């Protein structure tokens, strides 16, 4: 029996999530998967929170690199966001956990930084870029949360108290969520034009020196 390592623990955690879902990922279940006592995990991770953070880091490592480095700002933003959403959509429970508890942790901060870079390259002023980023993130987060919501009854079978939902039920039940998401994303991007649109490339006056934005993040903000 090989000795316990962080890598082995995270791999086992992924296996447990695949088998029993995100809620089934308890310290005891994870320990059983590893053939070990639950308390043994505390030697490698300070607690459940830290373990999940490690899992998130592993699952989102390649997310930011999806952002193309060149092109029109709205195309770059669209690519970053749709890639990110399609990746996170595969683990919606994990995505919701990230969103609700890790909003200011490195994996998420990397996405903020990447989107901000795109907006600023596109000619947005700092305030407008922050605002645009906030609006886009709100939309993305809402989508991810809804993707994780329990299916519930079909809209067309609702009680008569909801006549419009009922009448539009068939259309409601068959709508393509990906298409809906992208239509909304387009709507927002179109409405968020910078005052002075610029082609990518030339630097902005107020933009600080920055290194490679896409490099590996520090494990937590304390390291920085």
Partner DNA sequence: ACCTGAACACCGTTCAAGT
Report d(CA 190, CA 174) in Å as an integer. 26
Restricted to residues 18-47, the positions that interact with DNA (CB under 7 A) are 24, 26-29, 31, 36-40, 42-44, 47
Return the one option of DNA, its own copies, none that residue 142 interacts with (CB less than 5 to 8 A, by type). its own copies
Interface with DNA, residue 116, by CB under 7 A: no
Nearest approach in angstroms of CB 147 to DNA is: 24
User: How many amino acids of this chain bind DNA (CB under 7 A)?
Assistant: 19
Nearest approach in angstroms of CB 57 to DNA is: 17
| Residue whose CB is less far from DNA, 47 or 163 | 47
Nearest approach in angstroms of CB 122 to DNA is: 42
Say if residue 56 is exposed, middle or buried (CB neighbours under 10 Å; 0-12, 13-18, 19+).
buried
Nearest approach in angstroms of CB 221 to its own copies is: 6
Token pair, residue 172, equals: 């409601």
**Between the CA atoms of 40, 41, 45 and 49, what dihedral angle is there, to the nearest 10 degrees?**
-140
Restricted to residues 151-210, the positions that interact with its own copies (CB under 8 A) are 151-153, 158-168, 171-172, 175, 177, 180-181, 183-184, 187-188, 190-192, 206-210
Residue selected from 2, 3, 43, 150 as contacting its own copies according to rule CB under 8 A: 150
Return the one option of DNA, its own copies, none that residue 135 interacts with (CB less than 5 to 8 A, by type). its own copies
Return the one option of its own copies, DNA, none that residue 65 interacts with (CB less than 5 to 8 A, by type). none
Neighbours of 127 (CB within 10 A): 8
Residue recorded with tokens 């039920």: 169
Are residues 66 and 84 in contact, defined by beta-carbon separation less than 8 angstroms? yes
Are residues 207 and 193 in contact, defined by beta-carbon separation less than 8 angstroms? no
Rg (CA), the chain: 21
Helix 27-34 with 48-60: angle, nearest 10 deg: 70
Token pair, residue 178, equals: 């990906």
| Residue whose CB is less far from its own copies, 33 or 110 | 110
Neighbours of 121 (CB within 10 A): 23
Are residues 134 and 147 in contact, defined by beta-carbon separation less than 8 angstroms? no
Sign of CA dihedral 196, 201, 205, 207: positive
Nearest approach in angstroms of CB 37 to DNA is: 3
Nearest approach in angstroms of CB 159 to its own copies is: 2
Restricted to residues 75-134, the positions that interact with its own copies (CB under 8 A) are 96, 99-101, 103-105, 109-110, 112-113, 116-117, 120, 126-127, 129-131, 134
Binding footprint of DNA on the chain (CB under 7 A): 3-4, 24, 26-29, 31, 36-40, 42-44, 47-49
């Amino acid at each position: 029996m090989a000795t316990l390592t962080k890598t082995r623990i995270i791999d086992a955690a992924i296996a447990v999530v695949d088998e029993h879902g995100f809620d089934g990922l308890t310290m005891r279940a994870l320990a059983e998967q590893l053939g070990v006592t639950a308390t043994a995990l505390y030697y490698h991770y300070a607690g459940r929170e830290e373990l999940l953070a490690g899992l998130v880091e592993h699952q989102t490592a390649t997310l930011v690199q999806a952002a193309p480095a060149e092109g029109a700002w709205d195309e770059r933003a669209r690519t970053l966001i749709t890639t990110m959403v399609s990746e996170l959509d595969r683990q919606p429970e994990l995505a919701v956990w990230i969103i609700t508890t890790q909003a200011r942790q490195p994996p998420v901060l990397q996405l903020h930084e990447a989107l901000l870079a795109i907006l600023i390259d596109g000619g947005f002023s700092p305030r407008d870029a922050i605002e645009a980023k906030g609006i886009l993130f709100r939309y993305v987060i809402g989508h991810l949360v809804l993707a994780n919501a329990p299916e519930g009854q079909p809209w067309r079978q609702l009680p008569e108290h909801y006549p419009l939902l009922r009448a539009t039920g068939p259309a409601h039940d068959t709508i393509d969520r990906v298409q809906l998401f992208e239509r909304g994303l387009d709507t927002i991007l179109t409405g968020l034009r910078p005052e002075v649109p610029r082609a990518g490339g030339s630097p902005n006056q107020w933009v600080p020196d920055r290194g490679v934005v896409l490099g590996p993040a520090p494990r937590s903000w304390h390291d920085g």
